[in-house]
Amino acid sequence: MVCQECKKKQATVHFTKIINGEKIELKLCESCAEQRGDLDFDGQQPFSVHQLLAGLLDLEEMPNVKGQTTTSNAGICKNCGLTEMQFAKIGRLGCTQCYQTFGARLNPLLKRVQGRSSHNGKVPKRSGGDIKLKREIEKLRESLNRYVIEEKFEDAAVLRDKIKALESELTQGGGA
C-alpha cells in the first residue's frame, strides 16, 4: 500500500487517532509520518500533559513584555532545588514544599486546570489535626442553619452546644 500523504513511498506506519471522538486512520511512509510530528521516534512521549501544563504557565508570563519574564532564580525551592524557570518549563512540582514556594505562580494554573483552587475533600487523620476539626465545625454549622430554617430549634440547640465544644477544643490547640 502506498503512503496516503506523498502517494509515492510504501506505507509502513499505520496509526489511529481519535480527535473529538472521531476516529482517523492513516497509512503513511516513515518520512511523511515523521513530518507530521504525530509520532514519536525517540521513545519519548510525543505530547504529554506536563508539556501542556508548562505551556499554560508560559501564558501566565505573557503580560510581562519585553523580556521582563522571570529569568532570575528568585524562586527556588529550598527543599528540592527546583527553580521557577524549571517549573515553568516542565509544568511539574519537585516536592511538597514547592507548593509553598511557587504558590503565586501555581494558583492561576490550578484555577485554569481544576476550575477551583481550594481543597474540599478528605483530610488525613493523624496530620490533618485542626483542619479536621474546622471541617467538622463547618459541617455542623450547615446542619444548624438547616434546622433553624426548618424551625427544629431543639435539634439546633444540640448542634450549637456541640459547635461550641469543638470551637473551644480548637482554640486550645487540640485535635492534632
Partner 1 sequence: MSLKGFIDKNLSRWIQEQEGKTSEVVLSSRIRLARNLNDIPFPFLADSTDQSKVVELVRDAMEGQKDFSYLSRKNLSLEDRQALMEKHLISMQLVNDNKDSGLWLNKDESASIMVNEEDHIRIQVLLPGFELEEARKKADELDDALEQKLNYGFNEEKGYLTSCPTNVGTGLRASVMVHLPGLVLTKQINKVLTAVSQLGLAVRGIYGEGSEAAGNILQISNQITLGQREEEIIDNIKRVTKQIIDHEHNARKWLLNEKKIEIKDKVHRAYGVLSNAYTISSKEALELLSQVKLGIDLQLLDKESSQIFKELIVLIRPGYLQKLYGQKLSEKQRDIKRAEVIRERLRN
The interface with partner 1 within residues 107-136 (CB under 8 A) comprises 109-110, 113-128, 131, 134
| Closer residue to partner 1 in complex, CB, 7/78 | 78
In sequence order, the β-bridge partners of residue 15 are: 26
Contacts of 18 (CB under 8 A, 6+ apart): 24
In the complex with partner 1, which residue's Cβ is closer, 72 or 114?
Answer: 114
Q: Which three cell numbers stand for residue 41?
A: 521516534
How far apart are CB 44 and partner 1 at their closest, in Å? Answer: 11
Under rule CB under 8 A, residue 165 binds partner 1: no
Nearer to partner 1, 3 or 82 (CB): 82
Site membership for partner 1, residue 94 (CB under 8 A) = yes
Alpha-carbon distance of 17 to 30, in angstroms, equals 17
Task: Report the Cα 87 to chain-centroid distance in Å.
Answer: 13
Ordered alpha helix ranges (H), the chain: 30-36, 49-61, 84-90, 98-101, 103-114, 125-149, 153-171
Closest CB 148 distance from partner 1, rounded Å:
24
44 near partner 1, rule: CB under 8 A? no
71 binds partner 1 (CB under 8 A): no
Q: What is the dihedral of CA 43, 47, 51, 56, to 10 degrees?
A: 180
> Residue 49: phi, psi to the nearest 5?
-60, -30
As measured in angstroms, the least distance from the Cβ of 80 to partner 1 is 4
Q: Which of 36, 58, 99, 141 binds partner 1 (CB under 8 A)?
A: 99
CB of 116 to partner 1, least distance (A): 3
66 contributes a contact to partner 1 by CB under 8 A: no
The Cα–Cα gap between 93 and 107 comes to 13
Applying CB under 8 A, which residues contact partner 1? 16, 18, 20-23, 49-50, 53, 79-82, 91-97, 99, 106, 109-110, 113-128, 131, 134
